[in-house]
Amino acid sequence: MADTKPRNNVIRVLIADDHNVIRQGLTTLLSDQPGIEIVESVPNGRDALLACENQHPDVVLMDLFMPSLGGVQATQQIKRYIPGTRIIVLSGVLNEDQVLDALRAGADGYLGKNADIDELALAIRSVARGNRYFSEELTSMFDVSALEFRAREPERRTGFDTLTQREREVLQLIGEGRSNQEIANELSVSVKTVEAHRAHVKDKLNARNRRDLIMAALRAGLIEPDPARGVELTPQPDARAG
């Protein structure tokens, strides 16, 4: 495993966010902070994983909702393959379920996107030293200690939990409205392989049609609610079940 401790007192940061203006703004603002270097910025979780393998950043600023591979899934994979990498979720979503999912995935910190640059720099320096950091806004809304405790407890298995990593990626792409051909191109597999994954996902989630799959992706936090999809998220006993 590569050494991911800050080198020469410089904290090397990777930014993962699907909005160009946010990546550019964070790069400009953080580059002015002493001891912080932006090594790369990427638009999705899949590119974040590849960049971590190549760049070995000390800290990743991770958005939650991104195309191709979402922040929670990217965090899980980075923590699995490059465990020394520290990850701060930087999201516009301050929702208890999303915070809990991020913690379960291995996130070391969580801030809302309305945090100021000084707090963000403080969070980066804190997690780079091996600490955890949660924004003042988050701690005022939730009992973070209780969420951390829940994140360590075994989860009740649901249909979503039985999905493989590749099946979760396919579900997210379906939720984003991608066709089988587009999914095949994205994942570099054949259309028949995508169809097989889609069938397995439908079977595991008891989904009957595309709408059910979109609902499952919404409840699992793989995609953001979007009125253009014509699907509204309705309350369910288990928000992760699908």
Structural domain spans, the chain: 11-152, 160-229
* Beta-carbon contacts of residue 44 (< 8 Å; ≥ 6 apart): 16, 18, 66, 67, 68, 69, 74
CATH of domain 160-229: 1.10.10.10
Q: Which CATH architecture has domain 11-152?
A: 3-Layer(aba) Sandwich (3.40)
144-203 pLDDT, tens per residue?
Answer: 999 999 888 776 556 777 888 889 899 999 998 999 999 999 899 999 999 999 999 998
More confident: 234 or 115: 115
**How many angstroms separate the CA atoms of 59 and 62, rounded?**
9
Window from 122-131, 139-148, 215-224 with minimum mean pLDDT: 215-224
- Global pTM reads 0.72
* DSSP at 7: B
Q: So what's the pLDDT on residue 227?
A: 58
Q: Is the pLDDT confidence value at 47 over 90?
A: yes
116-131 pLDDT, tens per residue?
Answer: 999 999 999 999 999 9
Beta-strand ranges (E) seen in the chain are 11-16, 36-42, 59-62, 86-91, 109-112, 133-134
Q: Which two tokens stand for residue 87?
A: 């990850």
**How many angstroms separate the CA atoms of 18 and 175, rounded?**
16
Q: So what's the pLDDT on residue 197?
A: 92
Q: How confident is the model at residue 97 (pLDDT cuts 50, 70, 90)?
A: confident
Instruction: Give yes or no on whether 11-152 and 160-229 have one common fold.
Output: no
Q: Is the pLDDT confidence value at 5 over 70?
A: no
- What proportion of the chain, given as a percentage, has pLDDT over 70? 88
